[in-house]
Structure 1
Amino acid sequence: MAIDTEQKSPSDGKVWGIFKLPFRHTGNNTRTTPSSSSASNLYVQTQPHVEGSNHHGSAISVSSVAKSLLPTRRRLKLDPANKLYFPYEPGKQVRSAVRIKNTSKSYTAFKFQTTAPKSCFMRPPGAILAPGESIIATVFKFVEPPENNEKQMDQKSRVKFKIMSLKVKGPMDYIPELFDEQKDQVAIEQILRVVFLDPERPCPALEKLKCQLDEADAALEARKKPPEDSGPRIIGEGLVIDEWKERRERYLARQQVEGVDSA
Protein backbone atom coordinates (compact mmCIF):
# COMPACT_ATOMS: atom_id res chain seq x y z
CA MET A 1 0.00 0.00 0.00
CA ALA A 2 2.86 2.31 0.76
CA ILE A 3 4.38 1.55 -2.60
CA ASP A 4 1.16 2.52 -4.35
CA THR A 5 1.11 5.81 -2.53
CA GLU A 6 4.69 6.60 -3.51
CA GLN A 7 3.92 5.79 -7.15
CA LYS A 8 0.91 8.11 -7.20
CA SER A 9 2.77 11.00 -5.69
CA PRO A 10 4.98 11.57 -8.76
CA SER A 11 1.91 11.49 -10.93
CA ASP A 12 0.28 14.02 -8.65
CA GLY A 13 3.32 16.21 -8.96
CA LYS A 14 3.16 15.96 -12.71
CA VAL A 15 -0.48 16.91 -12.68
CA TRP A 16 0.22 20.01 -10.62
CA GLY A 17 3.18 20.77 -12.82
CA ILE A 18 0.96 20.73 -15.90
CA PHE A 19 -1.52 23.10 -14.27
CA LYS A 20 1.31 25.37 -13.16
CA LEU A 21 2.56 25.90 -16.71
CA PRO A 22 -0.16 28.38 -17.66
CA PHE A 23 0.56 30.38 -14.52
CA ARG A 24 4.25 30.51 -15.34
CA HIS A 25 3.35 31.54 -18.92
CA THR A 26 1.10 34.24 -17.53
CA GLY A 27 3.93 35.48 -15.41
CA ASN A 28 6.15 35.68 -18.46
CA ASN A 29 3.53 37.84 -20.21
CA THR A 30 3.89 40.46 -17.52
CA ARG A 31 7.50 40.99 -18.57
CA THR A 32 8.27 43.03 -21.70
CA THR A 33 9.33 40.74 -24.50
CA PRO A 34 11.57 41.83 -27.39
CA SER A 35 8.70 41.53 -29.83
CA SER A 36 6.40 43.66 -27.69
CA SER A 37 9.12 46.28 -27.13
CA SER A 38 9.84 46.49 -30.85
CA ALA A 39 6.13 46.88 -31.57
CA SER A 40 5.84 49.66 -28.99
CA ASN A 41 8.93 51.37 -30.43
CA LEU A 42 7.40 51.14 -33.88
CA TYR A 43 4.21 52.76 -32.57
CA VAL A 44 6.19 55.53 -30.89
CA GLN A 45 8.21 56.16 -34.04
CA THR A 46 5.15 56.32 -36.25
CA GLN A 47 3.15 58.44 -33.84
CA PRO A 48 4.94 61.79 -34.58
CA HIS A 49 4.45 61.21 -38.30
CA VAL A 50 0.69 60.89 -37.83
CA GLU A 51 0.60 63.99 -35.66
CA GLY A 52 2.69 65.89 -38.20
CA SER A 53 0.37 64.93 -41.04
CA ASN A 54 -2.65 66.11 -39.08
CA HIS A 55 -0.87 69.36 -38.29
CA HIS A 56 -0.04 69.86 -41.96
CA GLY A 57 -3.65 69.26 -42.97
CA SER A 58 -4.89 71.67 -40.32
CA ALA A 59 -2.37 74.28 -41.51
CA ILE A 60 -3.70 73.98 -45.07
CA SER A 61 -7.29 74.33 -43.90
CA VAL A 62 -6.41 77.38 -41.78
CA SER A 63 -4.59 79.04 -44.69
CA SER A 64 -7.53 78.42 -47.04
CA VAL A 65 -9.93 79.92 -44.52
CA ALA A 66 -7.63 82.92 -44.04
CA LYS A 67 -7.47 83.51 -47.80
CA SER A 68 -11.25 83.37 -48.05
CA LEU A 69 -11.54 86.02 -45.33
CA LEU A 70 -9.12 88.41 -47.05
CA PRO A 71 -10.77 91.20 -49.09
CA THR A 72 -10.80 90.75 -52.86
CA ARG A 73 -8.21 92.85 -54.65
CA ARG A 74 -10.00 95.53 -56.62
CA ARG A 75 -9.25 96.23 -60.26
CA LEU A 76 -11.03 99.60 -60.45
CA LYS A 77 -10.81 102.84 -58.51
CA LEU A 78 -14.02 104.86 -58.24
CA ASP A 79 -14.46 108.57 -57.56
CA PRO A 80 -16.73 109.02 -55.59
CA ALA A 81 -15.85 105.76 -53.90
CA ASN A 82 -19.24 104.48 -52.71
CA LYS A 83 -21.92 107.12 -53.45
CA LEU A 84 -23.72 108.65 -56.42
CA TYR A 85 -24.72 112.28 -55.89
CA PHE A 86 -27.85 113.55 -57.65
CA PRO A 87 -29.37 117.04 -57.55
CA TYR A 88 -32.79 116.77 -55.97
CA GLU A 89 -35.29 117.97 -58.59
CA PRO A 90 -38.60 116.10 -58.19
CA GLY A 91 -40.39 115.17 -61.40
CA LYS A 92 -37.25 115.62 -63.53
CA GLN A 93 -34.50 113.46 -64.93
CA VAL A 94 -31.22 114.30 -63.19
CA ARG A 95 -27.65 113.18 -63.73
CA SER A 96 -24.76 111.94 -61.66
CA ALA A 97 -21.21 110.98 -62.60
CA VAL A 98 -18.47 108.64 -61.41
CA ARG A 99 -14.89 108.37 -62.58
CA ILE A 100 -13.74 104.79 -63.18
CA LYS A 101 -10.01 104.05 -63.45
CA ASN A 102 -8.37 100.71 -64.18
CA THR A 103 -5.65 100.29 -61.54
CA SER A 104 -4.72 96.72 -62.52
CA LYS A 105 -1.99 95.58 -64.91
CA SER A 106 -4.39 93.94 -67.36
CA TYR A 107 -7.31 94.97 -69.54
CA THR A 108 -10.48 95.09 -67.45
CA ALA A 109 -14.14 95.20 -68.42
CA PHE A 110 -16.70 96.86 -66.17
CA LYS A 111 -20.47 96.71 -66.12
CA PHE A 112 -23.26 98.64 -64.37
CA GLN A 113 -26.30 97.12 -62.72
CA THR A 114 -29.15 98.86 -60.90
CA THR A 115 -32.12 97.89 -58.77
CA ALA A 116 -34.34 100.31 -60.76
CA PRO A 117 -33.71 99.67 -64.48
CA LYS A 118 -37.00 101.37 -65.48
CA SER A 119 -36.09 104.77 -64.01
CA CYS A 120 -32.27 104.66 -64.30
CA PHE A 121 -29.73 104.05 -67.02
CA MET A 122 -25.99 104.50 -67.45
CA ARG A 123 -23.83 105.88 -70.26
CA PRO A 124 -21.85 103.88 -71.09
CA PRO A 125 -23.43 100.80 -69.45
CA GLY A 126 -20.06 99.07 -69.71
CA ALA A 127 -16.67 99.28 -71.39
CA ILE A 128 -13.17 97.81 -71.51
CA LEU A 129 -10.34 99.86 -70.01
CA ALA A 130 -6.64 99.49 -70.68
CA PRO A 131 -4.23 99.49 -67.71
CA GLY A 132 -4.21 103.01 -66.24
CA GLU A 133 -7.09 104.21 -68.45
CA SER A 134 -10.00 106.10 -66.90
CA ILE A 135 -13.47 107.16 -68.00
CA ILE A 136 -16.30 109.25 -66.55
CA ALA A 137 -19.60 107.39 -66.64
CA THR A 138 -22.85 109.36 -66.50
CA VAL A 139 -25.84 107.99 -64.58
CA PHE A 140 -29.37 109.18 -65.36
CA LYS A 141 -32.21 108.90 -62.85
CA PHE A 142 -35.81 110.08 -62.76
CA VAL A 143 -36.68 111.60 -59.37
CA GLU A 144 -40.16 110.66 -58.26
CA PRO A 145 -42.19 113.57 -56.83
CA PRO A 146 -42.66 113.21 -53.07
CA GLU A 147 -45.99 112.66 -51.40
CA ASN A 148 -47.60 115.66 -49.67
CA ASN A 149 -44.95 117.93 -51.25
CA GLU A 150 -42.37 116.98 -48.63
CA LYS A 151 -38.68 116.95 -49.45
CA GLN A 152 -37.01 113.57 -49.22
CA MET A 153 -33.38 114.58 -49.56
CA ASP A 154 -32.54 113.41 -46.06
CA GLN A 155 -34.22 110.05 -46.56
CA LYS A 156 -32.26 107.09 -47.88
CA SER A 157 -33.07 106.04 -51.42
CA ARG A 158 -33.69 102.37 -52.03
CA VAL A 159 -32.11 102.57 -55.48
CA LYS A 160 -28.60 101.17 -55.62
CA PHE A 161 -26.02 100.68 -58.34
CA LYS A 162 -23.51 97.86 -58.59
CA ILE A 163 -20.27 97.98 -60.57
CA MET A 164 -18.71 94.66 -61.57
CA SER A 165 -15.33 93.97 -63.16
CA LEU A 166 -13.85 91.20 -65.28
CA LYS A 167 -10.27 90.61 -66.40
CA VAL A 168 -9.99 90.18 -70.19
CA LYS A 169 -7.12 89.03 -72.39
CA GLY A 170 -6.60 92.25 -74.33
CA PRO A 171 -8.24 95.04 -76.32
CA MET A 172 -11.58 93.94 -77.73
CA ASP A 173 -15.11 95.18 -78.33
CA TYR A 174 -17.26 95.30 -75.22
CA ILE A 175 -20.30 93.03 -75.14
CA PRO A 176 -22.43 92.37 -72.02
CA GLU A 177 -22.30 88.62 -72.70
CA LEU A 178 -18.68 88.58 -71.45
CA PHE A 179 -19.96 88.63 -67.88
CA ASP A 180 -22.38 85.77 -68.54
CA GLU A 181 -19.73 83.56 -70.14
CA GLN A 182 -17.22 84.00 -67.29
CA LYS A 183 -19.39 84.25 -64.18
CA ASP A 184 -16.78 82.59 -61.95
CA GLN A 185 -14.23 85.35 -62.64
CA VAL A 186 -16.57 88.32 -62.17
CA ALA A 187 -15.81 90.51 -59.13
CA ILE A 188 -18.14 93.01 -57.47
CA GLU A 189 -16.15 96.22 -57.22
CA GLN A 190 -18.58 98.40 -55.29
CA ILE A 191 -22.24 99.00 -54.49
CA LEU A 192 -23.05 102.70 -54.85
CA ARG A 193 -25.72 104.35 -52.73
CA VAL A 194 -27.83 107.26 -54.01
CA VAL A 195 -27.46 110.58 -52.18
CA PHE A 196 -29.55 113.65 -53.07
CA LEU A 197 -28.11 117.17 -52.98
CA ASP A 198 -29.99 120.44 -52.75
CA PRO A 199 -29.17 122.35 -55.98
CA GLU A 200 -29.89 125.65 -54.21
CA ARG A 201 -27.21 125.06 -51.56
CA PRO A 202 -23.66 124.98 -52.96
CA CYS A 203 -21.36 122.38 -51.45
CA PRO A 204 -18.07 120.67 -52.45
CA ALA A 205 -19.88 117.50 -53.58
CA LEU A 206 -22.20 119.50 -55.86
CA GLU A 207 -19.31 121.51 -57.38
CA LYS A 208 -17.34 118.33 -58.01
CA LEU A 209 -20.39 116.75 -59.67
CA LYS A 210 -20.75 119.71 -62.05
CA CYS A 211 -17.07 119.48 -63.04
CA GLN A 212 -17.33 115.75 -63.73
CA LEU A 213 -20.49 116.23 -65.81
CA ASP A 214 -18.81 118.97 -67.88
CA GLU A 215 -15.81 116.70 -68.48
CA ALA A 216 -18.09 113.80 -69.48
CA ASP A 217 -20.02 116.03 -71.93
CA ALA A 218 -16.77 117.28 -73.49
CA ALA A 219 -15.50 113.72 -73.94
CA LEU A 220 -18.81 112.72 -75.55
CA GLU A 221 -18.65 115.62 -78.03
CA ALA A 222 -15.05 114.76 -78.87
CA ARG A 223 -16.07 111.19 -79.72
CA LYS A 224 -18.86 112.44 -81.99
CA LYS A 225 -16.57 114.65 -84.09
CA PRO A 226 -15.04 113.05 -87.20
CA PRO A 227 -11.26 112.68 -87.14
CA GLU A 228 -9.42 115.70 -88.50
CA ASP A 229 -7.42 115.38 -91.72
CA SER A 230 -3.75 115.17 -90.81
CA GLY A 231 -2.60 115.51 -94.43
CA PRO A 232 -3.10 113.92 -97.84
CA ARG A 233 -4.48 110.39 -97.76
CA ILE A 234 -2.18 107.58 -98.81
CA ILE A 235 -3.48 104.90 -101.13
CA GLY A 236 -2.09 101.84 -102.86
CA GLU A 237 1.59 101.22 -102.25
CA GLY A 238 2.31 104.46 -100.43
CA LEU A 239 1.37 106.83 -103.27
CA VAL A 240 -0.04 110.21 -102.28
CA ILE A 241 -3.19 111.30 -104.10
CA ASP A 242 -1.78 114.73 -105.00
CA GLU A 243 1.43 113.20 -106.34
CA TRP A 244 -0.57 110.66 -108.36
CA LYS A 245 -2.56 113.49 -109.97
CA GLU A 246 0.63 115.36 -110.88
CA ARG A 247 2.14 112.27 -112.49
CA ARG A 248 -1.01 111.64 -114.50
CA GLU A 249 -1.11 115.25 -115.69
CA ARG A 250 2.54 115.05 -116.80
CA TYR A 251 1.81 111.79 -118.60
CA LEU A 252 -1.15 113.25 -120.48
CA ALA A 253 0.86 116.35 -121.40
CA ARG A 254 3.68 114.16 -122.74
CA GLN A 255 1.19 112.15 -124.80
CA GLN A 256 -0.16 115.34 -126.36
CA VAL A 257 3.36 116.55 -127.25
CA GLU A 258 4.23 113.21 -128.84
CA GLY A 259 0.98 113.30 -130.83
CA VAL A 260 1.78 116.78 -132.19
CA ASP A 261 5.34 115.77 -133.16
CA SER A 262 4.14 112.66 -135.01
CA ALA A 263 1.61 114.72 -136.94
Structure 2
Amino acid sequence: MSIADHHRSHSNGKNRRLFPFWQSGTTTSSSKQNHQLQFHHHHNNNNSSNENGVVSTARSSNKLSSVAKSLMPARRRLRLDPGNNLYFPYEPGKQVRSAVRIKNHSSSHVAFKFQTTAPKSCYMRPPGGVLAPGESLIATVFKFVEQPDKNEKQLDQRSKDCKVKFKIMSLKVKEGTDFVPELFDEQKDEVVVERILRVIFLDADRPTPALEKLKHQLAEAEAQLELRRKPQVETGPKVVGQGLVIDEWKERREKYLARQQEVEAVDLM
Protein backbone atom coordinates (compact mmCIF):
# COMPACT_ATOMS: atom_id res chain seq x y z
CA MET A 1 0.00 0.00 0.00
CA SER A 2 1.28 3.46 -0.91
CA ILE A 3 1.46 6.36 1.46
CA ALA A 4 -1.41 8.13 -0.35
CA ASP A 5 -3.66 5.10 -0.08
CA HIS A 6 -2.79 4.67 3.51
CA HIS A 7 -3.56 8.33 4.16
CA ARG A 8 -6.92 8.14 2.33
CA SER A 9 -7.92 5.02 4.23
CA HIS A 10 -6.89 6.60 7.47
CA SER A 11 -8.93 9.75 6.76
CA ASN A 12 -12.01 7.72 5.83
CA GLY A 13 -11.77 5.76 9.01
CA LYS A 14 -11.36 8.96 10.92
CA ASN A 15 -14.42 10.44 9.27
CA ARG A 16 -16.43 7.35 10.13
CA ARG A 17 -15.41 7.67 13.75
CA LEU A 18 -16.17 11.41 13.83
CA PHE A 19 -19.47 11.19 11.83
CA PRO A 20 -20.77 7.68 12.36
CA PHE A 21 -24.25 8.49 10.82
CA TRP A 22 -23.05 10.38 7.78
CA GLN A 23 -22.69 7.44 5.43
CA SER A 24 -25.74 5.60 6.73
CA GLY A 25 -27.78 8.82 6.50
CA THR A 26 -26.72 9.33 2.92
CA THR A 27 -27.61 5.75 2.10
CA THR A 28 -30.92 6.06 3.91
CA SER A 29 -31.74 9.32 2.11
CA SER A 30 -31.04 7.87 -1.31
CA SER A 31 -33.00 4.72 -0.55
CA LYS A 32 -35.86 6.88 0.76
CA GLN A 33 -35.88 8.87 -2.47
CA ASN A 34 -35.91 5.66 -4.48
CA HIS A 35 -38.78 4.37 -2.34
CA GLN A 36 -40.72 7.60 -2.85
CA LEU A 37 -40.20 7.41 -6.61
CA GLN A 38 -41.30 3.80 -6.66
CA PHE A 39 -44.36 4.62 -4.52
CA HIS A 40 -45.27 7.57 -6.75
CA HIS A 41 -44.96 5.43 -9.85
CA HIS A 42 -46.96 2.64 -8.25
CA HIS A 43 -49.62 5.14 -7.07
CA ASN A 44 -49.96 6.60 -10.56
CA ASN A 45 -50.29 3.12 -12.00
CA ASN A 46 -52.95 2.33 -9.43
CA ASN A 47 -54.85 5.54 -10.24
CA SER A 48 -54.77 4.86 -13.96
CA SER A 49 -55.82 1.26 -13.44
CA ASN A 50 -58.61 2.40 -11.09
CA GLU A 51 -59.84 4.93 -13.65
CA ASN A 52 -59.74 2.30 -16.37
CA GLY A 53 -61.55 -0.06 -14.04
CA VAL A 54 -64.27 2.52 -13.34
CA VAL A 55 -64.76 3.18 -17.06
CA SER A 56 -64.85 -0.51 -17.91
CA THR A 57 -67.23 -1.17 -15.01
CA ALA A 58 -69.53 1.64 -16.17
CA ARG A 59 -69.51 0.29 -19.71
CA SER A 60 -70.21 -3.20 -18.48
CA SER A 61 -73.08 -2.00 -16.30
CA ASN A 62 -74.57 -0.04 -19.22
CA LYS A 63 -74.38 -3.11 -21.42
CA LEU A 64 -75.94 -5.26 -18.74
CA SER A 65 -78.74 -2.76 -18.13
CA SER A 66 -79.53 -2.55 -21.85
CA VAL A 67 -79.55 -6.33 -22.15
CA ALA A 68 -81.72 -6.66 -19.05
CA LYS A 69 -84.10 -4.02 -20.37
CA SER A 70 -84.44 -5.86 -23.67
CA LEU A 71 -85.13 -9.12 -21.85
CA MET A 72 -87.72 -7.61 -19.51
CA PRO A 73 -91.32 -8.10 -20.68
CA ALA A 74 -93.01 -4.94 -21.88
CA ARG A 75 -95.68 -3.49 -19.64
CA ARG A 76 -99.12 -4.51 -20.88
CA ARG A 77 -101.67 -1.83 -21.66
CA LEU A 78 -104.72 -4.06 -22.14
CA ARG A 79 -106.53 -6.46 -19.85
CA LEU A 80 -108.18 -9.43 -21.56
CA ASP A 81 -111.00 -11.66 -20.35
CA PRO A 82 -110.46 -14.56 -20.89
CA GLY A 83 -106.77 -13.94 -20.53
CA ASN A 84 -105.10 -16.85 -22.32
CA ASN A 85 -107.65 -18.76 -24.42
CA LEU A 86 -110.47 -18.29 -26.89
CA TYR A 87 -113.33 -20.70 -26.24
CA PHE A 88 -115.37 -21.98 -29.20
CA PRO A 89 -118.26 -24.45 -29.25
CA TYR A 90 -117.16 -27.44 -31.28
CA GLU A 91 -119.57 -27.80 -34.20
CA PRO A 92 -117.88 -29.32 -37.28
CA GLY A 93 -118.94 -27.87 -40.60
CA LYS A 94 -120.24 -24.64 -39.05
CA GLN A 95 -118.99 -21.16 -38.32
CA VAL A 96 -118.67 -20.75 -34.57
CA ARG A 97 -118.01 -17.71 -32.43
CA SER A 98 -115.93 -16.76 -29.44
CA ALA A 99 -115.61 -13.51 -27.51
CA VAL A 100 -112.98 -11.64 -25.54
CA ARG A 101 -113.35 -8.51 -23.47
CA ILE A 102 -110.59 -5.95 -24.06
CA LYS A 103 -110.08 -3.15 -21.55
CA ASN A 104 -107.54 -0.34 -21.62
CA HIS A 105 -106.16 -0.10 -18.07
CA SER A 106 -103.42 2.40 -18.96
CA SER A 107 -103.56 6.19 -18.66
CA SER A 108 -103.17 6.75 -22.43
CA HIS A 109 -105.21 6.08 -25.53
CA VAL A 110 -104.32 2.67 -26.94
CA ALA A 111 -104.83 1.17 -30.38
CA PHE A 112 -105.23 -2.60 -30.60
CA LYS A 113 -105.08 -5.03 -33.48
CA PHE A 114 -105.81 -8.73 -34.03
CA GLN A 115 -103.70 -11.21 -35.98
CA THR A 116 -104.31 -14.91 -36.56
CA THR A 117 -102.38 -17.86 -37.92
CA ALA A 118 -105.46 -18.90 -39.96
CA PRO A 119 -106.73 -15.78 -41.76
CA LYS A 120 -108.68 -17.86 -44.33
CA SER A 121 -110.93 -19.48 -41.75
CA CYS A 122 -110.96 -16.84 -38.99
CA TYR A 123 -111.77 -13.17 -38.65
CA MET A 124 -112.42 -10.72 -35.84
CA ARG A 125 -115.07 -8.04 -35.31
CA PRO A 126 -113.80 -5.43 -34.86
CA PRO A 127 -110.33 -6.29 -36.25
CA GLY A 128 -108.89 -3.35 -34.32
CA GLY A 129 -109.69 -0.02 -32.76
CA VAL A 130 -108.71 2.70 -30.31
CA LEU A 131 -109.66 2.60 -26.64
CA ALA A 132 -109.64 5.57 -24.29
CA PRO A 133 -108.27 5.11 -20.75
CA GLY A 134 -110.62 2.81 -18.85
CA GLU A 135 -112.71 2.03 -21.95
CA SER A 136 -113.56 -1.56 -22.85
CA LEU A 137 -115.34 -3.54 -25.54
CA ILE A 138 -116.11 -7.15 -26.38
CA ALA A 139 -114.63 -8.40 -29.63
CA THR A 140 -116.24 -11.32 -31.44
CA VAL A 141 -114.02 -13.90 -33.11
CA PHE A 142 -115.42 -16.04 -35.93
CA LYS A 143 -113.97 -19.39 -36.93
CA PHE A 144 -115.05 -22.04 -39.41
CA VAL A 145 -114.65 -25.55 -38.03
CA GLU A 146 -113.64 -28.03 -40.71
CA GLN A 147 -115.39 -31.36 -41.08
CA PRO A 148 -113.03 -34.28 -40.48
CA ASP A 149 -112.14 -36.27 -43.58
CA LYS A 150 -113.44 -39.78 -44.07
CA ASN A 151 -110.09 -41.28 -43.18
CA GLU A 152 -109.48 -38.81 -40.36
CA LYS A 153 -110.77 -39.12 -36.87
CA GLN A 154 -112.73 -36.28 -35.31
CA LEU A 155 -110.17 -35.90 -32.52
CA ASP A 156 -107.36 -35.44 -35.05
CA GLN A 157 -109.23 -32.64 -36.84
CA ARG A 158 -110.11 -31.08 -33.51
CA SER A 159 -106.45 -31.05 -32.46
CA LYS A 160 -105.53 -29.39 -35.77
CA ASP A 161 -108.04 -26.61 -35.18
CA CYS A 162 -106.70 -26.13 -31.67
CA LYS A 163 -103.31 -25.19 -33.11
CA VAL A 164 -104.77 -21.93 -34.46
CA LYS A 165 -103.59 -18.93 -32.46
CA PHE A 166 -104.64 -15.30 -32.18
CA LYS A 167 -102.31 -12.45 -31.34
CA ILE A 168 -103.46 -9.16 -29.85
CA MET A 169 -101.09 -6.21 -30.19
CA SER A 170 -101.27 -2.72 -28.72
CA LEU A 171 -99.84 0.69 -29.54
CA LYS A 172 -99.91 3.90 -27.52
CA VAL A 173 -101.53 6.70 -29.58
CA LYS A 174 -102.60 10.29 -29.13
CA GLU A 175 -106.15 11.28 -28.30
CA GLY A 176 -108.24 11.69 -31.44
CA THR A 177 -106.21 9.21 -33.49
CA ASP A 178 -108.30 7.18 -35.94
CA PHE A 179 -107.52 3.49 -36.20
CA VAL A 180 -105.82 2.32 -39.37
CA PRO A 181 -103.82 -0.93 -39.59
CA GLU A 182 -100.84 0.98 -41.01
CA LEU A 183 -100.24 2.52 -37.57
CA PHE A 184 -98.66 -0.73 -36.45
CA ASP A 185 -96.35 -0.81 -39.47
CA GLU A 186 -95.25 2.80 -39.08
CA GLN A 187 -94.39 2.42 -35.37
CA LYS A 188 -93.07 -1.13 -35.15
CA ASP A 189 -90.69 -0.35 -32.29
CA GLU A 190 -93.55 0.85 -30.07
CA VAL A 191 -95.85 -2.13 -30.67
CA VAL A 192 -96.40 -4.48 -27.73
CA VAL A 193 -97.67 -8.04 -28.08
CA GLU A 194 -100.29 -8.15 -25.37
CA ARG A 195 -101.19 -11.81 -25.53
CA ILE A 196 -101.22 -14.87 -27.77
CA LEU A 197 -104.54 -16.67 -27.33
CA ARG A 198 -104.96 -20.40 -27.94
CA VAL A 199 -108.13 -22.05 -29.25
CA ILE A 200 -110.05 -24.23 -26.81
CA PHE A 201 -113.12 -26.15 -28.00
CA LEU A 202 -116.12 -26.71 -25.75
CA ASP A 203 -118.78 -29.36 -26.06
CA ALA A 204 -121.78 -27.43 -27.39
CA ASP A 205 -124.27 -29.94 -25.92
CA ARG A 206 -122.86 -30.02 -22.39
CA PRO A 207 -123.39 -26.92 -20.21
CA THR A 208 -120.25 -25.69 -18.47
CA PRO A 209 -119.35 -22.41 -16.73
CA ALA A 210 -117.04 -21.52 -19.62
CA LEU A 211 -119.83 -22.07 -22.16
CA GLU A 212 -122.31 -20.02 -20.14
CA LYS A 213 -119.80 -17.18 -19.83
CA LEU A 214 -119.19 -17.32 -23.58
CA LYS A 215 -122.92 -17.04 -24.33
CA HIS A 216 -123.20 -14.06 -21.98
CA GLN A 217 -120.25 -12.29 -23.61
CA LEU A 218 -121.59 -12.95 -27.12
CA ALA A 219 -124.96 -11.44 -26.17
CA GLU A 220 -123.22 -8.40 -24.70
CA ALA A 221 -121.09 -8.05 -27.83
CA GLU A 222 -124.23 -8.05 -30.01
CA ALA A 223 -125.81 -5.37 -27.83
CA GLN A 224 -122.70 -3.20 -28.14
CA LEU A 225 -122.71 -3.68 -31.91
CA GLU A 226 -126.34 -2.53 -32.15
CA LEU A 227 -125.52 0.59 -30.15
CA ARG A 228 -122.65 1.42 -32.49
CA ARG A 229 -124.88 0.94 -35.52
CA LYS A 230 -127.59 3.30 -34.26
CA PRO A 231 -127.23 6.95 -35.33
CA GLN A 232 -126.07 9.18 -32.54
CA VAL A 233 -128.70 11.43 -31.00
CA GLU A 234 -127.89 15.06 -31.75
CA THR A 235 -127.54 17.19 -28.66
CA GLY A 236 -127.53 20.51 -30.56
CA PRO A 237 -130.56 22.46 -31.85
CA LYS A 238 -132.61 20.65 -34.46
CA VAL A 239 -132.96 21.91 -38.00
CA VAL A 240 -136.70 22.34 -37.53
CA GLY A 241 -136.08 24.50 -34.49
CA GLN A 242 -133.56 26.57 -36.40
CA GLY A 243 -136.14 27.03 -39.18
CA LEU A 244 -138.74 28.26 -36.70
CA VAL A 245 -136.27 30.77 -35.31
CA ILE A 246 -135.51 32.04 -38.81
CA ASP A 247 -139.23 32.30 -39.64
CA GLU A 248 -139.89 34.27 -36.46
CA TRP A 249 -136.98 36.58 -37.24
CA LYS A 250 -138.35 37.17 -40.75
CA GLU A 251 -141.80 37.95 -39.35
CA ARG A 252 -140.36 40.51 -36.92
CA ARG A 253 -138.28 42.02 -39.68
CA GLU A 254 -141.28 42.40 -41.94
CA LYS A 255 -143.30 44.08 -39.16
CA TYR A 256 -140.44 46.47 -38.46
CA LEU A 257 -140.13 47.40 -42.12
CA ALA A 258 -143.89 47.90 -42.34
CA ARG A 259 -143.80 50.31 -39.38
CA GLN A 260 -140.89 52.15 -40.92
CA GLN A 261 -142.82 52.58 -44.12
CA GLU A 262 -145.78 53.97 -42.17
CA VAL A 263 -143.51 56.48 -40.39
CA GLU A 264 -141.94 57.55 -43.65
CA ALA A 265 -145.38 57.98 -45.19
CA VAL A 266 -146.48 60.22 -42.30
CA ASP A 267 -143.34 62.33 -42.64
CA LEU A 268 -143.93 62.78 -46.33
CA MET A 269 -147.43 64.07 -45.62
Residue aligning to 1:133 = 135
Residue aligning to 1:184 = 189
In structure 1, what is the Cα distance between the partners aligned to 2:44 and 2:143? 76
8 A contact 1:130–1:171 mirrored in 2? no
Residue aligning to 1:13 = none
In the TM superposition, residue 48 of structure 1 has moved relative to its aligned partner by: 2.5
8 A contact 1:128–1:171 mirrored in 2? no
Q: Structure 2 length normalisation: TM-score? A: 0.75
Structure 2's unaligned 5+ residue stretches are 3-29
| Secondary structure in structure 1 of the residue aligned to 2:47 | helix
| Secondary structure in structure 2 of the residue aligned to 1:52 | helix
In the TM superposition, residue 51 of structure 1 has moved relative to its aligned partner by: 2.4
Structure 1's unaligned 5+ residue stretches are 1-5, 7-27
| Secondary structure in structure 2 of the residue aligned to 1:174 | coil
Counterpart code for 2:209: P
Residue aligning to 1:220 = 225
Matches within 5 A, 1:48-127: 48-127=50-129
In the TM superposition, residue 117 of structure 1 has moved relative to its aligned partner by: 0.7
1:163 alignment partner, one of 148, 164, 168? 168
Deviations 1:74-98 (A, max 9, x none): 0111111011111111101111111
| Secondary structure in structure 2 of the residue aligned to 1:147 | coil
In the TM superposition, residue 109 of structure 1 has moved relative to its aligned partner by: 0.7
Deviations 1:90-123 (A, max 9, x none): 1011111111111111111111111111111111
8 A contact 1:94–1:141 mirrored in 2? yes
Counterpart code for 1:97: A
In structure 1, what is the Cα distance between the partners aligned to 2:167 and 2:252? 66
Stretch deviating more after TM superposition (200-209 or 250-259): 250-259
In structure 2, what is the Cα distance between the partners aligned to 1:88 and 1:177? 34
In the TM superposition, residue 64 of structure 1 has moved relative to its aligned partner by: 2.4
In structure 1, what is the Cα distance between the partners aligned to 2:36 and 2:127? 80
Identical counterparts, % of pairs: 55
In structure 1, what is the Cα distance between the partners aligned to 2:216 and 2:163? 26
Stretch deviating more after TM superposition (68-77 or 250-259): 250-259
In structure 1, what is the Cα distance between the partners aligned to 2:63 and 2:256? 89
Residue aligning to 1:18 = none
| Secondary structure in structure 1 of the residue aligned to 2:159 | coil
Residue aligning to 1:206 = 211
In structure 2, what is the Cα distance between the partners aligned to 1:229 and 1:169? 26
8 A contact 1:113–1:162 mirrored in 2? yes
Structure 1 stretches of at least 4 aligned residues deviating more than 6 Å after TM superposition: 253-260
Stretch deviating more after TM superposition (32-41 or 107-116): 32-41
Q: Structure 1 length normalisation: TM-score? A: 0.76
Q: Cα 1:36–1:231, aligned 2, differ >3 Å: closer, same or farther?
A: closer
In structure 1, what is the Cα distance between the partners aligned to 2:94 and 2:132? 35
Report the number of matched residues. 232
In structure 1, what is the Cα distance between the partners aligned to 2:88 and 2:223? 20
In the TM superposition, residue 250 of structure 1 has moved relative to its aligned partner by: 5.1
Q: Cα 1:258–1:225, aligned 2, differ >3 Å: closer, same or farther?
A: same
Q: Cα 1:161–1:245, aligned 2, differ >3 Å: closer, same or farther?
A: same
In the TM superposition, residue 232 of structure 1 has moved relative to its aligned partner by: 4.2
